[in-house]
């Protein structure tokens, strides 16, 4: 499957670091914006961390598909909980959310090649 077994973890580290940079940037705007950015990025990074951890244990396509669907549902649940309980500042929340999702989408395209092409 992966030629490089570290690829999911590498993507997770890049995603977490990107969210951390956004959190630090919004710290100059205000603490509320920074906390909102942490919540927005965390709502995507935490389910991805769970998914990367679970991916190490399996190589079956059906299980991976199920885990991917469950990860998507976990992101929705995390976003719902954050928006319902914390009422975060919109700029920080959506900026970190967008960065985390963009890294998730474009990270595999620009990172080192990790798929076997035999």
Per-chain mean pLDDT for the chain? 88
Question: What is residue 44's predicted lDDT score, i.e. its pLDDT?
Answer: 95
Residue 113 lies in a domain: no
Q: Residue 72 phi/psi, 5° resolution? A: -60, -45
Question: What is residue 91's predicted lDDT score, i.e. its pLDDT?
Answer: 94
In eight-state DSSP terms, residue 2 is B
Question: What is residue 113's predicted lDDT score, i.e. its pLDDT?
Answer: 61
> Per the structure, how many domains does the chain have?
1
For 102, the domain range is 7-106
Q: Quick one: how far is CA 77 from the chain centroid?
A: 14
Say if residue 115's pLDDT is above 70.
Answer: no
Q: Which of 53, 54, 48, 26 lies closest to 38, judged by CA?
A: 26
pLDDT tens track for 53-104: 888 878 888 988 999 999 999 999 999 999 999 999 999 999 999 999 999 8
């Amino acid at each position: 499957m992966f030629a490089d077994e570290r690829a999911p973890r590498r993507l997770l580290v890049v995603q977490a670091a990107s969210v951390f940079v956004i959190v630090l940037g919004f710290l100059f705007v205000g603490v509320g914006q920074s906390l909102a950015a942490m919540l927005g990025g965390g709502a995507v990074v935490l389910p991805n961390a769970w998914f990367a951890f679970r991916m190490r244990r399996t190589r079956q396509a059906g299980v991976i598909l199920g885990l991917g669907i469950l990860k998507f549902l976990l992101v929705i649940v995390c976003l719902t909980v954050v928006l319902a309980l914390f009422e975060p500042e919109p700029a920080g929340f959506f900026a970190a959310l967008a960065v985390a999702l963009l890294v998730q989408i474009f990270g595999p395209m620009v990172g080192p090649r990790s798929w076997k092409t035999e």
